[in-house]
Structure 1
Amino acid sequence: TKITIERWDKKLRLVAELLPRGNIVIIDENEKITLPLRRRSFSSRKIKVGETYERPPSRVNPLEMGGHDLTNLCKQEDKDVVRVLASELSLGGLYAEEVCEKAGVAKNKKADELAASEIKAIRAAILAIFEPIITNDKSRLRAHIVTEGKEKVDVLPFELSVYEKKEKVLFASFNDAADDFFTTQIAEGVEEKAKSEHEKEVGKYERILKEQLDALRRFQLKEVECIKKGELIYARYTAIEEILREMDEKRKVVSLTLPDTDVQLEIDTSVSLHKNAGAYYEKAKVFRKKREGVERAIDTTKEKIRTEKAREVRVEDALMPKRKEVRREKEEWYERFRWFETSDGFLVIGGKDATTNEILVKKYMDVNDLFFHTQAEGAPAVIAKTAGKDVSADCLREIAQFAASYSNLWKYGFYEGECYCVTGEQVSKTPPSGEYIKKGSFMVRGKRKYFKAALGLCIGIEKNRLVACPSSESQKGRLNIFVELEPGGDLEKNELSKEIVKIFVDSAKEEKKEEIKQIATQEKVMSFLPSGKSRIKRGYPLRK
């Protein structure tokens, strides 16, 4: 395929070579190559800047091959007929098998053993299969993607008998079918690579953890060993003194093993046994500090592994094939967290894990904001950006429900929980003297206001954004489409996210389905779901 390009006083041509791996070459009026996509060297030609462009050598066109030529070709080949058709006639494996099937010829039969009638049937089958393309008879074209379960197997302009029993998805044109098929293939390849990199990152931390656990065991053993030696010196003080008197006093440090023990002691004869015991206790302290340091490092590494495993695998947009663009507002900073707007218009943001809890409180909470939390383990830090303004009782209940629903109360199947509220200035990361606050936790000082909150959430779409919000009637009224959830049931997060996406897509108009698929991907929906099992209370269709 050639496309002529005019640029000022020059005429250039863009040549697309539709060969295996393919190539694109720009040539000038003198057929000289000015820019190739890929530099290649073949026995008959070179694709390099400055070289004269030579077309690829012509191959046999099976649609133009007469019966006599086909007979001569077959008589010269002792390979299976399907291989001869695939390679010598450039049909490829799929269409070679289709020709054999349609001609009624065993594909494993040797080409040079074919009868004249079989060769004639093969030629007729080739012409019949490709006739819709030869005649440009669009009524006989049936562009489709062959599927097997959720896997897209192949894309074809017309049906083939080899896929007769497979499921098919029809398209208006072959271009549409090919675009869908290859976009998916490229996207899956890019995502697979991203997942592989993600798994490597997890593997790196797991290797570090193994080394840290090995070090921990060594330090624990050394600490116990030193304490044991110090205690042994005091327990056998007299016996050790007696042994030392009988030994060569010229040596400063002596090694000895007491009868009935397997412990070897290193004794410094220049100091008292009391100081020798003290030295072992000091060594034990050193190993204890090392052990404690490794234990803290292990906690950090475990947290990194948990965070990395829970992290959504993201792929740079530039690496992904372009899909139909979805019109939506610019992404805001709070969309990396769980969030919603109260009925009064206050922004409420909740953490997803210890790391995001820490970021939320340290970076985004002001002293006049409200901080909501439950006593249940694994509860998110939830802040309401009120700037000190009054908040209605209804909105306070909404925020309390949001905070309680994302705690482990949901996981344990509770339908109601207790939540407290304080101002931002009451929350601190500074612990009392001698105490330690783990990552994602905080100190709360002063009076707290408590709420009884029913657990319930809505996952929905508002202004082309996926949101999670409390299940109050005022919140439901803001959403274009949503699913209301309650604790319990038997749906795990993976199954539930698939079901929610299906409800959203099925309820959308045909022209909106692709847009909904991009806004509410399974991964995004899953990131908004609370921990544990849930049931769908009700699903609501699109209102607009």
Structure 2
Amino acid sequence: MEPKQELSSIDLAALVTELGRYEGAKVDKAYLYGDDLLRLKMRDFDRGRVDLFVEVGDIKRAHTVAPEHVPDAPGRPPNFAMMLRNRLNGADFAGVEQYEFDRILVFKFERGDEDTEIVAELFGEGNIAVLDENREVVSSLETVRLKSRTVAPGSQYEFPQSRINPLDVSYEALEHKMNESDTDVVRTLATQLNLGGLYAEELCTRAGVEKTLDIAEVGEEEYRKLYDAIERLKEPLQTGEFEPRVYEEEDRVVDVTPFPLKEYEELDAVAFDSFNAALDDYFYRLDLSDKAEKGGGGAEANRPDFEEEIEKQKRIIQQQEGAIEGFDEQAQEERKKAELLYANYELADEVLSTVRGARDENVPWSDIADTLAEGAEQGIPAAQAVEDVDGSTGMVTITIDGQRIELDVSMGVEKNADRIYTEAKRVEEKKEGALEAIENTREKLAALEKRREEWESDDDEEETDDDEERADVDWLSKQSIPIRQQDMWYDRFRWFETSDGFLVIGGRNADQNEEIVKKYLNKHDLFFHTQAHGGPVTVLKATGPSEPARDVDIPERSREEAAQFAVAYSSIWKEGRFADDAYMVSADQVSKTPESGEYVEKGSFVIRGDRTYYDDVAAEVAVGIRCEPDTRVVGGPPSAIEDDTATSVRLQPGRYAQNDMAKMLYRKFRERFTDQSFVRKVASADKIQEFLPSGGSGVVDGDGN
């Protein structure tokens, strides 16, 4: 029996009932794992932390997740996650609905400035669309353009065509739909009544109707039994009184349901208090099973997962660095508040004295708030500064120069300022603790990397150094590909390695163009640029940044590849042109000093002396996955990339937007590799997008290897 990987419509109907109990929870943050798993971290005032998972890839599910089952947050959040954070931070979860009886959930969020809906399509290829208050698509994981519907940024969201809801069908409608069929009972229930195979069989069993009975032989007695079985099936879905079960077969999970099924009476079952808890347990154990099956055997299976643990420590360091930066900002903000209080002493004192005097006369807090609001309408500066009056805490919030400051009414201005200064000091002390923690994490990371090096050095002794034998490795067919990744100093730039092994770097914007020339352009490097305006500064490195500059013989092939790189990532790609001219000069011909009376804007430079031109250079790039000596996405001129990768796709200017092309390539790579988990880890759509030129792209016929 194959384990269930997608939730059914009945599962979703049960889920909606339970998730409704979290209405009012506050959204803290959104995360996107890979390209298809969304996590919303929320705070429920009765239940505490709530992590909501929505997955729309090979696995299609939605449910809350226990903290111990939540994976570490991914590194740099992709654009989709950042967009959600901007829209949902501090928003209230306003509930969830199932669209008719389809496998579609609509999550609703409310915030003062804007409302947001997240539509999770848990069918077909799967998709998540984010809608604004006008139901216009803000963004989506996948762009859908069909005759029947469109899901694309800027368009009105369109649901798929409605299908019958078997839980709302009348007896007459059931009888009519069944009589339209020309097959047996169970298939008719599954297809005509939209019940799916499992619940169609369950209804037949509960009703005592033979599954394979031909519709032509079915009469009112059987229809009545089936209708009564549907009515009994929907009772718990309406009341929310579930008896969830996770079903097991041969020590592995195979299904999860909101109530016991007669079809599964022969299977072992584990009961849960809530359907969300059952779903969490099921999919967590299903994931562990998948990892175990894909792990393979032999020495590689016994190899510690250094990469995962190293990535974990790097993520922790990144989080700690972010926290330290946050502490600095918070401490600075608190000090600014205290300074603003002193700078506006009379205003703050007038607010405090007014509220304190009213409280001494037992004036209710609500009346104080009304009086201050009236004063603000009359133009009284002190009253206009008051943002909020909170009688439950005895605090008044004022706004000075756009800064919100909370004042304790029981204190004067000085003591309030001292209280704020004390908070700034407390934050700074937390920063000291965080600095100590980050050093400990860095030590753990260094120890892990050393252990990995020792392990791999042992492996190297057993491996052949024969380059031809290495080239024969069929990476696409390998069941498990070891991940070897290392952050490089040039990762934040555009970059590739030429066919001769020389590094080429290019700027992504004017700031990086400036940085590359000022910091990384050495004496014997070569500088490339397009004739067209709006191209990246491109530098062909003769030596690394930490190496002494020396004169190196750079082959013509590498120079041509650098010229093509400069052309492909320039503005001509966005303009849809397929070729342009480029030129090359030596490092000493590049200057930031303009001629007298002229001005050189940021990211631009003055070129003096003769240039070497490359005419009609093709605007083409290849993007692929390299498996040795490291595992990563690479992109650049096809002649440099295609021989360096296990598989690649060649591109030219075309009609597919950058993010859409990144997703297309991700799917292509997943189809080509047997080890699809490897592709998810090293070649997500976001990582692929970093190597795509700005603007639309199309796949070249005979698209690489």
TM-score normalised by L of structure 2: 0.34
For the pair shown, which has the larger CA radius of gyration, 1 or 2? Answer: 1
